[in-house]
Structure 1
Amino acid sequence: MENDLFSASRLFFCAADIYMLYRFFSTMFKKKRTSKVTIVLTITFTILMFLENSLGLSWLNLMTVPIIYYVYVILMFRVSLTNAVAYTIIFYAIFACGKEVSFEILYRLLTNILPFYVPPWFTSGGIYFLLVEYFVGFMFLVYIEKYTRKLEISDNDSFAWYLLIVPIFSLIISVNFIYLDFPKERYMQIFMCVGAFLLFFTNAAIYIVLEKYKDVLNKVKIAELSLVKQDMENEHFQKILKINERYQCYMHDINSYFNSFRLLALNGDNEKIINIIDELKGNIKKETEIVIYNGNPVLNAILSERVIKAKEVSVELSIFVEKFLKIDFISDADLISMMGNLIDNAIEAAEKCNKGNRLVDVKLFMGTNYFLVLHIENSYSIMALKEGNRLLSTKSDPKHHGLGIGIVNSLAEKYGGSLNLEERENKFITTLTISCFS
């Protein structure tokens, strides 16, 4: 019997194994290599698999193939070490060990039932049967991809460990199937073959079900956080409406005050005028802290509330608002979300600095006739966490607080603009640009 372990056909099947591994992970995780490096790594690991397989030792395959898979995944994809372990074992249980064991038992059954001989996989004659095995495995992978592509899988998710319960047990059972003597009774042979294939398909089915369950849990969690955020925005909106209502009351009475000032001035009662102005100024400052930055009352209320907040935490907040801003095209709720979130973040970052260095500078102006620009510079003491080019929250509950920047990003896109966050020397710079003709 001619041994065909060291041949071009075996190299082809090793390449197929690496390619299927690549396909499995690429539907869930982002690549971190260029196309050229990807090709080089894939060829390298294919040759490594080929050399290892050429030894023809099953026990060695069982130990070293998962390690080869794992190293390839770590080098190729943006995935945590623990997630790489979990999903490599899942892949190995389904598309390597599970597939091979199922077809090995099927070939044993066919050898006993049919009048022709099914040659071993490591011989030239066995290559044709391997083609069937790999074709079925590849089509099964394509079927699974339809589900995994729709899932939002975290790069580092502890839930992945729960997915290993069935694959690990199936690996143990599959190994026992291989090393057990094939039963002599025909019904037991069929039972063993059916059991192996059921184990193969059940692994994939349970994996899909658990992944979809995890995906649903993630979406529910995001929805809950969004509702919390929405409640916070609604509460904030009501507060601003209240401030705006007070502001409008003062503006409504301004004519009455002017008429009173005129009569008092004609009578020469200047001291009385001063007393009324001082009292009025004190009431306005005490109740609303209103400063008229712009003709838009909601924008005035947003900025006035931040002035109060900044004073409470000893942050020096300076605000410049250019005259004749084009801002009426932004809805009140969106204005609160964008301006409020970004200025709040700046104040909270500055608050963590030493006293005397708690600075926030806010500028709102027209970049051109077509773009509205919110430019914020603030001091900070804690370096921002980064994931690639994306800045992460440094707050104690980043998953909750991180929604703010995400909302602003979405709204910036809604209005045909962009949000840019930048660290420069001792300042954190936020620039929100919005198209006036979105």
Structure 2
Amino acid sequence: MENNLFSLSKFLFCSADIYMLSRFFASIYPYKTSLKNRYIYGISVTFIIFMINSIGSSALNFTTVPICYYIFVLLLFKVSLTNGIAYTIIYFAFVGGREVLFELLYRLIIHNLPLYIPPWFTTGGVYFLTVEYFFGYLFLLYIEKYIKKINITNNNVFSWYLLIVPILSLMISSCFVYMDFPKPFSVQIFMCSGAVLLYFSNAAIFIILEKYTDMMNKIKYAELYSVKRDMESEHFKNILKINDHYRCFMHDVHSYFGSFRLLALNGENDKIVEIIDELKGKIQKETNIAIYSSNPVFNAILSERITKAKELEIEISLFVEKNIKFDFISDADMISLFGNLLDNAIEAAEKCEIGKRNVNIKVFMGTNYFLIFHIENSFSMKVKKAGDKLITSKSDSKHHGLGIGIVRSLAEKYGGSLNLIQKDDLFLTTLAVSAFTEG
């Protein structure tokens, strides 16, 4: 009967671990499964961890339990593979730090009070383990209170730097466990106080770094919003300018028709053709600003690059399928995706001889599910490769060549791909992004 109760308590502790893990991630990332599936996954992973613990191997626990945590996180939350690894390790470091802290506190009590604390894997140790888990739950609520207010993105590379402090502090505090506990009471207090401060500093530094990351993301968003606002303003000005030109033309159109009538009656047809050609050229010159799509940001991206290409004597060919929707791509990502690819194509074409500078752009729906952005540009340099990846040919390789990496990352974010092919003196770029993937 006692063994059954002990086994039940171990299963409940495993359940508590999974519950606190899910609460930790729920304060950062949204769920992607129904409540029913959460319970199914939770019970399944709890049972697996319970079976692992029952074997009684610390090495096995240390290597397999984090993997179980990671799989559970991927099943429940909308988290990237890399961020899932980073935050699972952070959580596991918090749990390990708690266990080390309580081990030192138990030693302090045993050495100074007439109290016996049995090992946690015995029936008597369950009560002390309950206290430890209750403290762990309060610690989780403390962290949750702050990080719930922070917007942590899935492409947060900074999360890997968050691993440094918890892992390092766990290593330091673990060394205390393998050291002989000092005999002087003052040294014992000093060691345990240091362990407590080290443990709580983990949470404080973790929250500070997350807030810093959130602040930097907001600054970046503000800068991109400013760019978007300027683009939309320029787009609106261009439309007003074109409308003004056409209003002037429509105002004079009756005078033109009157002149054409008189010239026609006098048989001066050549003069009519001459005036029409002159008028056509004037209209084209004054309304040189084209509207390529209904999306102001995408239109501004194309307008800016096409104007630049014409200045560099690059022949531009453009096809944009009608009624294409770009709403599923955020404005910031649109600037990074299309802007980087167009800049690369124009820079490559510029290095070719005048008369051989060409950029052919096509934007269309490849299927009902994918938006295709295809560029063919003239190319005069040999492509450098490292395996399957292209290497920039620019001398300042440290700062250049980042654009393609950004585009690849964003293509994956939108469930698509980026293909780069060199074919003789042409360079072919094909970006495909899913119109049904959330950005």
Any conservation in 2 of the 1:73–1:84 contact (CA below 8 Å)? Answer: yes
State the AA in 1 paired with 2:43: I
Residues 38-437 of structure 1 mapped to structure 2, 5 A cutoff: 38-94=38-94, 96-261=95-260, 264=263, 272-288=271-287, 313-315=316-318, 421=435
- Shift of residue 250, structure 1, vs aligned partner: 2.1
Alignment-mate amino acid for residue 275 of structure 2: I
Deviation at 1:13, TM superposition (A): 0.9
AA at the equivalent of 1:164: L
In structure 2, what is the Cα distance between the partners aligned to 1:173 and 1:186?
21
Q: Deviations over 1:259-291 (max 9, x none)?
A: 444555676655544433332233223432699
Task: Please give the alpha-carbon distance, in whole angstroms, between the structure 2 residues aligned to 1:211 and 1:163.
Answer: 8
Cα distance in 2, alignment partners of residues 39 and 195 from structure 1: 39
TM-score, L = length of structure 1? 0.64
What is the aligned residue count? 348
Where does residue 23 of structure 1 map in the other structure? 23
1:45 counterpart letter in structure 2: V
1:52-77 CA-to-partner distances (Å, cap 9, x unmatched) read 33344545544443333233334443
Cα 1:66–1:168 change in 2 (3 A) is same
Paired residues of 2:319 and 2:362 also in contact (CA < 8 A): yes
- Contact kept in structure 2, 1:144 and 1:204, CA below 8 Å: yes
Shift of the 132–191 alpha-carbon distance from structure 1 to 2, 3 Å rule, reads same
Q: Deviations over 1:226-267 (max 9, x none)?
A: 222222333333333333332233233334334444555676
3-state SS, counterpart of residue 313 of structure 1: strand
SS across alignment from 2:227:
helix
The Cα shift of 1:203 comes to 0.8
Query: Post-superposition shift, 1:100?
Result: 1.3
The alpha-carbon deviation at position 98 of structure 1 amounts to 1.0
Q: Tell me if the contact between 1:31 and 1:77 (Cα under 8 Å) persists in the aligned partners.
A: yes
- Pair 1:255–1:290, CA change in 2 (3 A): farther
CA contact (8 A) 1:5 1:54 kept: no
TM-score (norm 2): 0.64
User: Percent of aligned pairs with the same residue?
Assistant: 54
Distance in 1 (alpha carbons) for counterparts of 2:60 and 2:289: 77
Q: Secondary structure at the match of 2:192?
A: helix
Shift of 1:90: 0.8
Q: Which runs of no fewer than 5 residues in structure 1 stay unpaired? A: 292-297, 321-336, 363-376, 397-419, 424-438
**Aligned partners of 1:378 and 1:198: how far apart in 2?**
53
Could you list the runs of 5+ residues in structure 2 that have no partner in the other structure? 291-295, 324-329, 346-357, 376-407, 421-433
On the 8 A contact 2:93/2:167 being kept in 1, the answer is yes
- Is contact 1:29-1:77 (8 Å) kept? yes
1:136 alignment partner, SS class = helix
For residues 362 and 213 of structure 2, what CA distance do their matches in structure 1 show? 43
Cα-Cα RMSD: 4.6
**Deviation digits for residues 152-189 of structure 1 (CA, Å, limit 9, x no counterpart):** 32324321111011111112112212222221111111
Letter in 1 for 2:96: C
User: Do the aligned residues in 2 keep the contact of 1:4 with 1:123 (CA within 8 Å)?
Assistant: no
Q: Helix, strand or coil: the match of 2:317?
A: coil
How far residue 222 of structure 1 moved from its aligned partner, in angstroms, is 1.9
Instruction: State the one-letter code of the partner of 2:243.
Output: N
